Amino acid sequence: MKKTIALTLAAAFIAASAISTPSRAQDAGKVDFEKQILPVLKESCFKCHEKEHEENGKVKKPKGGLRLDGAAVIMKGGKEYPNENVVAGKPEASWLVKTMELPESDDLAMPPEGKGDRISKANIDLIKKWITEGANFGAWKGVE
């Protein structure tokens, strides 16, 4: 009798967990670009990698031809590494994160030496995870 109850409970529990697993659970645990990565780029990269605009009467162009303020332009990449700024599934081929890992003395280290703090290891790992998971921007499009 006791055994039956235990089994019934176990079955009920399994069924309940199956039901309480909505399709969105697929996304649970995945990195959320807009919430977790965009703030890092905004803080450390935007001042040099935004759409061409005027600042104090001067035209500011995105450095290296690279914009990081929109999903499409992030994928498009810059002058030297077009289509290799973010290579979905391949953080080791993605310059967005490779430049963050270069030693500060390297010419391509981002942000450039003296132009901002290094990106934390935790945030670099998060960006790598996001790229490994397929570099999904969700609903975020950013500036076109």
Residues near ligand HEC, by CB under 6 A: 44-45, 47-49, 63-64, 66, 77-81, 85, 95-96, 99-100, 107-108, 110-112, 115-116, 119
Nearest distance from residue 56's CB to ligand HEC, in Å? Answer: 16
CB of 25 to ligand HEC, least distance (A): 31
Q: First vs last Cα of the chain: how many Å apart?
A: 66
CB of 21 to ligand HEC, least distance (A): 36
Q: What's the closest the beta carbon of residue 78 comes to ligand HEC, in angstroms?
A: 3
124 vs 136, which CB is nearer to ligand HEC? Answer: 124
Q: Which is nearer to ligand HEC, 81 or 130 (CB)?
A: 81
Nearer to ligand HEC, 117 or 144 (CB): 117
